[in-house]
Chain A
Amino acid sequence: EIVLTQSPGTLSLSPGERVTLSCRASQSVSSSYLAWYQQKAGQAPRLLIYDASSRATGIPDRFSGSGSGTDFTLTISRLEPEDFAVYYCQQYGSSPSLTFGGGTKVEIK
């Protein structure tokens, strides 16, 4: 099973700042089959990025994804107030099994 480790666990930032979240896999993720989700309190997760760097429908272009192999990154170019949430990475390179990372919380400083 591929284990995903997200860092840091929590980030305290101010609106307008640039943020970079990390997701590291215990082994190479096939075909860069990695996605990123945003989850706000009391809500279901929302797909942001798939295939490591493709934005899902309706996702603003301040969100971008990059990486391959075992190291992946989600970048928010300029934090908006609605971006404070928990972010999860998820790999689907080892179907029929999916795994999620432990999450990174982005909180207001």
Chain B
Amino acid sequence: EVQLVESGGDLVQPGRSLRLSCAASGFTFDIYGMHWVRQAPGKGLEWVSGISWNGGSIGYADSVKGRFTISRDNAKNSLFLQMNSLNPEDTALYYCAKDRRVRTNYYYSPDVWGKGTTVTVSS
């Protein structure tokens, strides 16, 4: 069974850092691009960041550029999101999602999603 399990969400104060992880199983992780997508309480979906299968293409939403860093460890079937300088607008459920196509530096439509991990930024 294809599965993505996020972890690392927490309650943090503004200005602090947090690192999210996503453990992948049930598919060949190292040939797919991966994404982080977030959803603020009661709001819609917002793409945060993506990374291609080999790390050759990385992208960020303008709202997080310069503060967040995406990375992956293909040997450990894991995806990460390092979040620095957090502010209350970053409060959301963060989903890890697998891209639909293989071995490409282009981003397509995520077809498998985890259940998400909650990040709350508040003093």
Picked from B37, B59, B105, the residue with its CB within 8 Å of the CB of A97 is B59
Q: How far is the CA of A101 from the CA of B108 in the complex (A)?
A: 16
Given A44-B114, A100-B44, A100-B47: A50 and B62 within 8 A (CB)? no
Q: Mark A62-104, 1 if CB is under 8 A from B, else 0.
A: 0000000000000000000000000010101001111111110
B100→A47 contact, CB < 8 A: yes
How many B residues, CB 8 Å from partner? Answer: 26
Task: Tell me the B residues contacting A by CB distance below 8 Å.
Answer: 35, 37, 44-47, 50, 52, 57-59, 61-62, 95, 100, 105-111, 113-116
For the A-B complex, the count of residue pairs with Cβ-Cβ distances under 8 Å equals 66
Q: How far is the CA of A98 from the CA of B58 in the complex (A)?
A: 12
Binding site secondary structure of chain A: loop
Q: How far is the CA of A1 from the CA of B114 in the complex (A)?
A: 26
Q: How far is the CA of A39 from the CA of B39 in the complex (A)?
A: 12
Residue of B nearest to A100 (CB): B45
Task: Tell me the A residues contacting B by CB distance below 8 Å.
Answer: 1, 33, 35, 37, 39, 44-47, 50, 56, 88, 90, 92, 95-103
